[in-house]
Structure 1
Amino acid sequence: MGSNFVWTPELIDDAQPRYLALVDAIAAAIERGELKVGERLPPQRRLAWKLGLNPSTTQQAYREAAARHLVAGEVGRGTYVLAGSKEATLFRLKQHDRHSSLIDLSTNVPVADPHPHDLQHSLQALLQADDLNLLDHYLDHDQLLLARLHGARWLAQRGLTLGADDLLLCGGAQQGLACVLQSLCQPGEAVMVEALTAPGIKAACRQLRLPVHGVALDHQGLRPDELDRVARASGARVLVTTPTLHNPTGACMGDSRRQAIAEVVKRHGLRVIEDDVYGALSERAPLYPLLDGQGILVSSLSKTVAAGLRLGWIAAPASVLEHIDPHARATHWPVSPLNLRIACQWIANGTAARRLAWQREEIGERWRLARRVFGEAMRAQDEPSPHVWVNTPGPAEALVGACRARGVEMVPASVFAVGGDEVRAVRISLSAATSRAQLKQGLDVVRAVLGELAGK
């Protein structure tokens, strides 16, 4: 809209007062984008003249619009559309939907549902069972027990032999991680994490006021010598780690590395919180069995089966779980009865296993595609991962910004880094792209920009 634009509404001829009709017209125009955030409304007297209204009517309408936080007026400057209104927010969301051509290489989610009818079939089965009161009550003892049994069955594929008493339910791994940290640590207590760690882990520690100490990594993840050094230097007794398909680097610990880490853990008497949300995508066993009761494993279905299926498990010896949640209530409060029922159904009838197998196959193809595109620029990984770590010739933010300008989103190393050292790399997620063709298009953009930056 040019500088000569003068907005003139059409007022609906209804029974309400004219000033309210004008307020409704302002709200509708903001929602449609006809009036944009920061745009100036016509002067009250001019608008009154155009609409055939008394100036006092437009004055009353502008006052009501300001009271609803649609606009704000400044003496000598006029009346302007505010950014924080519901209407402006709705317009922004609509605009975002229109720009769906953006290629997302930034979000770690499972590849888009290859079997779009799974949820439909599950909901139909619930309706046919006449089980329509799922949301009328809290989860009862039998439902919680059944979900723990199904969790033990699901985690058995990770080589874990668990009983119902070895598990607590949680509303996804992030909530489970926060609950465990809160139970183990007092505010101000040091916690060790990988020197590059998931934003969710950093956020949980920050919210709980737990200072973090980064432990250096190599191509297999945590280095045992560095874990030993940081444990002695910091006095920390809790370690949060992702040994399998580490986020962000995709590293996997080999058998000898896991054994070496376990020895350091035992020597210092550390408590280890193992983030295993990606573990089912790999053949590698968890660290948990090697820790002789000093480990706590947190897992969920969100990264491997369905992002919105917010159900997870905290696995540990019963004595440890009693300390985390003495009454076995706090961790499962966020769990939806509907989500729980669908998750248990999918584990029982094989749907979850089928979806996981498809994810592993598809991620493998996408990972091999990334290796062909990036070659040596991509950090060496032994196993297919839903995300890859790519080195940059200069500051990572320069690559991210240049790629964003060409319609591709990714995440710079600074989002994951613990400490102030600059890391010149980006994490590229392979699973959010809608297809392999779209992924290839995005990866080619990144490669081209890498080449341009390297030539400068």
Structure 2
Amino acid sequence: MWVPSLAGRSPVRYLAIVEALADAIAAGELRPGERLPTHRDLAWKLGLNVSTVTQAYREAARRHLVSGEVGRGTYVLAASREAVLFGLKAAVPGAPAPIDLSTNVPAVDPDSADLAAVLAAVAAEGRIDAALAYHPPALLQRAGIAGAAWLAARGLHLRPADVVPCAGAQAALTAVLLQLCAPGDPVLVEELAFPGLKAAARWLRLPLHGVAMDGEGVLPEALDRAVRATGARVAVLVPNLQNPTGAVMGPARQAEIASVARRRGLWLVEDDAYGALTDRPPLVALAPERGVLVTSLSKTVAAGLRFGLVAGACAPVRDLAGQIHATSWPLAPLMGEVACRWIEDGTAARRLAWQRAEIAARHAQARRALPGLVPPGRAASPHLWLPRDGDAAAARCLAAGVEVVAADVFAVTREAPQGLRLSLAAAGSRAELAEALARVQGVLSDPSLSETALA
């Protein structure tokens, strides 16, 4: 019978049980499919009320750590640590919903009628039925033209033939990794990497090797050492508003990284999902013969608009362009129609401008609410990285009614820095964000939560 030690854990008993459960799963002490003690048995062993254990199991299920089945018991799920992030949204019946600062989504303009307008236009033109059929070649060509125009605003000037539309950035990234890598090939990434990349690499059986970072992202000398040590041919980086740290590479750092790629024959796969929120051009513009850019409209225009792009004037993109059924064909025609219209008529640019202004306002709000915790000069980002003891601080924030994400969801190496990611755009309003930040400030003011830092 598994009986956790709660010593040194959260003073909130049900959260202490969840922490112990997560640690036991991560350490292999509890394995997928293993049955946990009954609520009553565990409560008796720990000297707690049954209701406390019930609340702990509910919270563990919300984090996608366990699954309870009536009549059969509670079992450990076969899930990765980053699955915790995607499982947080299941509500606990009867429990007050915490404020969500965990989901990395764009802010929502409550006054926008853009979607209703474009759907009405599609209907008025008699194109609704066409949007629900397989897409004609003309729509894919139009998507390439629209995608090239969108990237030109980022300073990346490509032919429409160099732009491959996909069903979102995650699908685009997976296609690129399949194109460039074979199972078992090492892939270099930031030492704190976004969960979607970790999930794709696990699925494709690609071992990730984390590269040390500082406030501008990956360190050039560390990247060079990693290439020589691992023999990697591919690096996946987020140079602009890196997720989770919000780091932005300056011009000199971008040039150094591009130089390493050329010198070592390294393919640079750039995730530019947040790049349009900055004034910095893509890194791959400095090494077009070694660079593949992946982006979408999900973080800048609309979260549910599954319109992604793979772009670049190099062989891997040309090869992907010929794999229509594996890349462009899964793009939903209705999403393609909406995305193309919004890019063509300026709606996408207007929504991007609103998003940038809203994020700038929320970032300034966070600087005021968390004095001394936001590094000076840091670019306005939809996600804020706070160097703190991640697991302990995240648990205390949740107990205070705010969901944030700890570093272990992003960590690629055991030595990766500890911290918390706060998604400022996830809050439903600035007023809700203000309440959440006040609670976070109350938690982080505890001196027992030690500060950490990037290398």
Correspondent of 1:377 among 373, 378, 399: 373
Which residue does the alignment assign to 2:215? 219
- Whether the 8 Å contact between 1:170 and 1:335 is mirrored in structure 2 is yes
The 2-side partners of 1:384 and 1:156 are apart by: 22
- Whether the 8 Å contact between 2:192 and 2:416 is mirrored in structure 1 is no
Instruction: Give the AA of the match of 1:442.
Output: A
Instruction: Please give the TM-score of this superposition, normalised by the length of structure 2.
Output: 0.77
1:243–1:455 Cα change, 3 Å: closer
Instruction: Give the AA of the match of 1:212.
Output: L
- Whether the 8 Å contact between 1:274 and 1:298 is mirrored in structure 2 is yes
Equivalent position SS for 1:158: coil
Which residue does the alignment assign to 1:185? 181
Aligned Cα RMSD in Å? 2.7
Give yes or no for the alignment of 1:418 onto 2:418. no
- Whether the 8 Å contact between 1:414 and 1:423 is mirrored in structure 2 is no
Matched positions, count: 376
The 2-side partners of 1:455 and 1:265 are apart by: 39
Equivalent position SS for 1:427: strand
The 2-side partners of 1:93 and 1:182 are apart by: 30
The 2-side partners of 1:354 and 1:429 are apart by: 22
Task: Give CA deviations for 1:139-181 in whole Å, capped at 9, x if unaligned.
Answer: 1110000011001111111011111111101111111001100
Which residue does the alignment assign to 2:359? 363
Correspondent of 1:316 among 312, 316, 336: 312
Which residue does the alignment assign to 1:85? none
After the TM superposition, which residues 2-13 of structure 1 pair with which residues of structure 2 at under 5 Å, given as runs? none
Correspondent of 2:203 among 201, 204, 207: 207
Which residue does the alignment assign to 1:8? none
Is the deviation greater in 185-194 or in 345-354? 345-354
Which residue does the alignment assign to 1:406? 400
After the TM superposition, which residues 301-312 of structure 1 pair with which residues of structure 2 at under 5 Å, given as runs? 301-312=297-308
Instruction: Give the AA of the match of 1:144.
Output: L
Instruction: Give the AA of the match of 1:257.
Output: R
Give yes or no for the alignment of 1:431 onto 2:431. no
The 1-side partners of 2:420 and 2:116 are apart by: 37
Correspondent of 1:245 among 224, 241, 246: 241
- Whether the 8 Å contact between 1:396 and 1:423 is mirrored in structure 2 is no
Which residue does the alignment assign to 2:332? 336
Is the deviation greater in 378-387 or in 435-444? 378-387
1:81–1:439 Cα change, 3 Å: closer
- Whether the 8 Å contact between 2:194 and 2:244 is mirrored in structure 1 is yes
Which residue does the alignment assign to 1:31? none
Shift of 1:379: 4.0
Which residue does the alignment assign to 1:16? none
Give yes or no for the alignment of 1:197 onto 2:214. no
Shift of 1:455: 7.8
Instruction: Give the AA of the match of 2:169.
Output: A
Instruction: Give the AA of the match of 1:203.
Output: A
Give yes or no for the alignment of 1:290 onto 2:291. no
Give yes or no for the alignment of 1:440 onto 2:412. no
Identity of aligned residues (%): 45
Instruction: Give the AA of the match of 2:212.
Output: A
After the TM superposition, which residues 135-154 of structure 1 pair with which residues of structure 2 at under 5 Å, given as runs? 135-154=131-150
The 2-side partners of 1:269 and 1:240 are apart by: 14
1:322–1:93 Cα change, 3 Å: closer
Equivalent position SS for 2:294: strand
Instruction: Give the AA of the match of 1:267.
Output: R
The 2-side partners of 1:321 and 1:328 are apart by: 12
- Whether the 8 Å contact between 2:180 and 2:316 is mirrored in structure 1 is no
Instruction: Give the AA of the match of 1:282.
Output: T
Task: Give CA deviations for 1:178-223 in whole Å, capped at 9, x if unaligned.
Answer: 1100111000010000011101111111110001111100010011
Instruction: Give the AA of the match of 2:426.
Output: A
Task: Give CA deviations for 1:249-276 in whole Å, capped at 9, x if unaligned.
Answer: 0010000110011111100010010000
Correspondent of 2:155 among 153, 156, 159: 159
Shift of 1:332: 1.7
Instruction: Give the AA of the match of 2:384.
Output: V
- Whether the 8 Å contact between 1:300 and 1:313 is mirrored in structure 2 is yes
The 1-side partners of 2:392 and 2:315 are apart by: 49
Task: Give CA deviations for 1:375-428 in whole Å, capped at 9, x if unaligned.
Answer: 332345531100111022xx3111111111121000001111111126331011
The 1-side partners of 2:324 and 2:139 are apart by: 13
